[in-house]
A and B are shown apart, each in its own frame.
Chain A
Amino acid sequence: MKEFSIVGKDVPRTDAEAKARGSALYTDDIRLPGTLHGRILRSPIAHGIIKNIDTSKALKLPGVKCVLTAEDTPKVKYGNWRLFPETQDEYPLAVDKVRFIGDEVAAVAAIDRDTAEEALDLIEVEYEELPAVFDVASSIAQGAPVIHEYCPSNISVNRKIKYGDIEKGFAESDYVREDTFKFQAISHAYLEPCSALAQVDLDGRITLWTSTQTPYIVQCLLASTLGMRENDIRIIKPYVGGGFGGKMELRTWEFCAALMAKKTGRPVKFTLDRQEEFLAGRRRHPMTIRSKVGFKKDGTLVSKDLRIQLDGGAYNAMGPTATFLCGNFGAMLYRYPNYRFLGEHIYTNKPPASAMRGFGAPQSLYASEVQMNIAAEELGIDPVDIRLKNAQVSGDKIPDVATISSCGFSESIQAVAEMSGWREKRKSLKPGQGIGIGCYSFISGGVFNWFNTQYPFSAAEVRVFSDGTAHLLTMASDIGQGSDTALKQILAEELGLRMEDIRLTTADTAMTPQGDLGTWGSRVTLMAGNAVIDAARKIKQQLFGAVSARFNLNVIHDIECKNGRVQATARHDYGMSFGDAVAMVQKANRGEPLVARGSYTPRGKGLVTPAFGFGAQIAEIEVDKETGLVKVKNMWTAHDCGTVINPRSVEGQLAGSIQMGLGYALSEQMIMDGGKTLSLDFADYKMPTAMDMPPSEVVHVDTFEPEGPMGAKETGEGLASPTAPAISEAVYHATGYRCKDLPITPEKILNATRDKAE
């Protein structure tokens, strides 16, 4: 392994001190003189035609400055899949029809929030209610109400994958099983409610501060929905209080803030409240997964037939990508010689589901991991051994996807089994106690260009100065995961500077280089990291030229940037300070500043991802047999994220993933009554607390990803998947209850164990 001086070290996060002091500004913290406050009127019905909207009373309320309905807008549809315009199915404000409880119908801006809210009550909307559907089966049944006119089947996207011959595979299998799994919706539950603040400058251009993961996507879609030019819109991402996939689209409040700012000439701010976030916010897809797998007697996988229906809710949102990826996650972890996938994205009259940490992987991998555990038991093989037998290894080719470059999966399985005392505990635990394993594989960013950008996927600009400092500009968006720190570490390492020598400007579409597709799919470290290195190397070439000329170096000399110097690697005295080298280059170029652009767009990596992360996790739990309550006592994880850029951050990502996985497995669900979300606050949406978190141990398996920056690849998103199947297997081990419909509630455990006893 290569030795680094800053990469791989526990460097404190660059934003930590500001956040610890409370001085880091999030969107709602920004104050502009004269700001108006906006609120959104939402549909109270799940499906209906808007017959009439009367805003006259609201407009008359003192303090109200602007009321918007679709009639005041250009009525342009948007969606993230620009490559397939027919999938763009959403208007910023409902046109003619509402499709879920919470659908945005109108907006008010007033001198304060209370007045705006009061005005919402004065808007009179006349609806003609239509029959509605709340599950995929009813939605695709004969004669079901059509939710979008363009899509009479209610199946908005389908994706097929096929290789090998599954029927032949099943015929050759010794053991074939088929299971159906069902998944609940859960909330991203980022702590910072969505917020946007728009300002119009003197020549009519818009600046929008917004809590987003994808400034570039917001810029483009805001331009198209407002009928403006992209360059007339500037998106700034302030500090963001978490996203997890829930903040990666254009949202109504961003559009309304911008349009209202234009109409009133005053800044307009929208901040959602938590109830709205739960009522209408994006969520993880409910799914039905039917999976048929065939094995040889010795546990070798032969064939898999996977059918997934995603309950997309009322709009596509990021559902098409989730549909696409579910099929890949279905065959990413193990070698499946014969594989078929059919994924369907189905509309229902519920709040739209979208991307959420894992992007289809938590569901898809839960199904495949639970099936591995069942198969292991029925074939009489240890769950660890059946995985080792089928695990992908470096050099394996996933048909139609890519050849896996680095892969520490088998090492992860072995490491986690050892550190947890798996083989001993599997045999010796007391009744009511259990231990279980779950694994994952995940992408390091996506290749398929659904947004149809003409820019590089990630870009960076590096400016260096004669005082020995550098300025890194990139549109990469830190939403709390720590990418600002990681990118700074990468640049500091590459240029031989210290963290404090680097100034950072990020996520401002008018100031940072185009483009960047945003923070999702674990793409930032690999893609933006590569762009930073690309820019840094261009700078270094020029610095090396200057040093070489200054010392008249033999052409065979290697030159390096290290410890604030640019020097011959073998003769440090043939060198000078970083700043002096910059000055020399500038002088040789008639004073031109030394600046370089770098970029990254995957090449020759198929259509899915440039690199894969892997890992394995083991959970030890205890079940109260009378109440059915599960206590998770320990978690062990071994994973392969390539080079670890910042160990503390990676461990933080891991613990956060466990928290989310724990909730997904045991307690979190959006409870619905038809189209109405009932869990509307944190008292009823049961996210794990500090008391619920188990201790956790981790091993980073040492690999080097050739496609990644300094060998790094994804971490933190893949880790959202193994926790639920590991806990599920542990619950089975403890009680004999095998859960195929998350979450694993105490009641399900009790019912199952009672049935067994009877």
Chain B
Amino acid sequence: MKHNIRIVVNGDEYCLAVDPWKTLNEVIREDLNLTGTKLGCGTGDCGACAVIVDGKAVSSCLTLAVSVDGKSIKTVEGLAPSGEELHPIQESFVETGAIQCGFCTSGMEMAAFHLLSNNPSPTDLEIRKGLSGHLCRCTGYNQIVEAISLAANKMQGCHCKKEES
């Protein structure tokens, strides 16, 4: 029996009828066509499928879509505040060379988003711990760590400006 669920994804509300055995990853990719979220392993070990559910980063491949009924979800497509400008995290990934093949990128950015929401100025070690569930085969991680550190600076910069104004 299909279940009717109501979810808010990147600010848009969707009402869907889903089979209980469908994962959140399948619904995001197949039903909503938000293909920025990837599937790298299906066992929660690689991080490529990470999305934010009610403020927390989770593995969409290990989440049943029915279980997020009523919740709010952010995917990589919802990261940039406007359609045009990049989020500081995305901008930093571009600037530092943190992107090669790009398949891990959206998951890495969601991990960075989660990390920086909880810890606005993380140390190098804290960033590395924050990425411990995310595999990358191209970059050797160092430029990704650099990107997140740069993003933290940029976001703090924004924050200060806001407070001043």
Interface size on B, residues (CB 8 A): 54
Taking the nearest CB of chain B, how far is it from the CB of A171, in angstroms? 46
> Closest residue to A687 on the B side, CB-wise?
B135
Contacting residues, chain A, for B141 (C-beta < 8 A): 655, 659, 689-690, 693
| Complex interface bits, A686-722 against B, C-beta within 8 A gives 1, otherwise 0 | 0101110101100000000000000000000000000
Smallest CB gap from B43: residue in A: A681
Please count the residue pairs between chain A and chain B whose beta carbons lie under 8 angstroms apart in the complex: 176
> What residues of A have a CB within 8 angstroms of the CB of B132 in the complex?
689-691
A682/B45 contact (C-beta < 8 A), A239-B102, A652-B100 known:
yes
Known: A22-B37, A190-B137. A16 touches B94 (CB 8 A): yes
Q: Distance (Å) between the CB of A247 and the closest chain B CB?
A: 11
Contact present for A274 and B97 (CB under 8 Å): no
- Of B79, B102, B129, which one neighbours A24 at CB under 8 angstroms? B102
Q: Mark A653-696, 1 if CB is under 8 A from B, else 0.
A: 01111111000000000000000000001110001011101011
With contacts A192-B101, A241-B102 taken as known, whether A652 is within 8 angstroms of B131 at the C-beta atoms is no
Q: Name the distance in Å between B33's Cβ and chain A's nearest Cβ.
A: 6
Q: Are B43 and A656 in contact (CB under 8 A)?
A: no
Q: Which residues of A contact B153 (CB under 8 A)?
A: none
Say yes or no: B101 contacts A241, CB within 8 Å: yes
Is A294 on the interface with B (CB-CB < 8 A)? no
Q: Which of A20, A273, A657 contacts B105 (CB 8 A)?
A: A20
Q: Is residue B63 within 8 Å, beta carbon to beta carbon, of the partner chain?
A: no
Structural contact, A479 and B129, CB atoms closer than 8 A = no
A window 620-662: CB within 8 A of B: 648-649, 651-652, 654-660
Provide the main secondary structure of the chain B interface. Answer: loop
Using a Cβ–Cβ cut-off of 8 Å, how many residues does chain A contribute to the interface with B?
Answer: 56
A557 within 8 A of B: no
Evaluate contact between A480 and B128: CB separation under 8 angstroms. Answer: no
A20 and B137: CB pair below 8 A?
no
How far is A16 from B106 in the complex, measured between Cα atoms in Å? 12
Q: Of A16, A239, A690, which contacts B93 at CB under 8 A? A: A16
A189 at interface by CB-CB < 8 Å: yes
The 8 Å CB contact of A652, one of B79, B104, B139, is: B139
B9 at the interface (CB under 8 A from A): no
- Pull 5 A–B residue pairs with CB atoms less than 8 Å apart, ordered by A: A21-B79, A22-B79, A242-B137, A649-B97, A691-B132
Q: Contacts of B48 on A, CB cut-off 8 Å?
A: 191
Whether a CB of chain B sits under 8 angstroms from the CB of A26 is: yes
Instruction: Judge whether B120 is part of the interface by a CB distance below 8 angstroms.
Output: no
The residues of A that contact B140 with a CB separation of less than 8 Å are 652, 654-659, 693, 696
User: A480 near B36 (CB under 8 angstroms)?
Assistant: no
Q: Which residues of B contact A439 (CB under 8 A)?
A: none
CA distance A697 to B86 in the complex (A): 30
How far is A682 from B49 in the complex, measured between Cα atoms in Å? 14
The reply to whether B138 and A12 contact each other, CB–CB distance below 8 Å, is no
Residues on B close to A: CB < 8 A?
29, 33-43, 45-46, 48, 75-77, 79-80, 86, 90-91, 93-97, 99-106, 109, 127-129, 131-132, 134-145
CB <8 Å contact, B42 and A273 = yes
Contacts of A654 in B (CB 8 A): 140
Tell me the complex Cα distance, A189–B142, Å: 19
Q: Considering the complex, which residues of chain A in the window 3-24 have a beta carbon less than 8 Å from any beta carbon of chain B?
A: 10, 12-13, 15-17, 19-24
Task: Give the residues in chain B near A273, CB-CB below 8 Å.
Answer: 42
CB nearest neighbor in B for A681: B43
Q: Is the CB of B143 within 8 A of A191?
A: no
| Chain B min CB distance to A118 (Å) | 12
Q: Residues of A at under 8 Å CB distance from B?
A: 10, 12-13, 15-17, 19-26, 28-29, 31, 188-193, 239-242, 244, 273-275, 479-482, 648-649, 651-652, 654-660, 681-683, 687, 689-691, 693, 695-696
Closest residue of B by beta carbon distance from A12: B94
What residue of chain B has the Cβ atom nearest to residue A684's Cβ? B45
Most chain A beta carbons < 10 A, residue from B35, B131, B132: B35
Neighbouring A residues of B131 by C-beta, 8 Å: 689-690
CA distance A275 to B45 in the complex (A): 12
Q: Smallest distance from the beta carbon of B71 to chain A beta carbons, Å?
A: 20
| Distance in Å: Cβ of A682 to nearest Cβ of chain B | 4
* Other-chain residue from A31, A193, A275 in contact with B33 (beta carbon distance below 8 A): A31
In the complex the two chains form, what is the Cα distance from A47 to B34 in whole Å?
42
The interface residues of chain A lying within 8 Å CB-to-CB of B34 are: 22
Given A658-B140, A660-B137: 18 more A-B contacts, CB < 8 Å = A12-B94, A15-B99, A15-B102, A16-B99, A20-B90, A21-B77, A22-B35, A22-B77, A26-B35, A193-B39, A242-B138, A274-B46, A648-B96, A655-B142, A659-B137, A659-B139, A683-B45, A689-B141
Residues of chain A within 8 A (CB-CB) of B143 are 648, 651-652, 655
Residue of B nearest to A189 (CB): B137
Q: Are B101 and A240 in contact (CB under 8 A)?
A: yes
Q: Which residue of B lies closest to A650 (CB)?
A: B97
* A690 proximity list for chain B (CB < 8 A): 127-128, 131-132, 134, 136, 141, 144-145
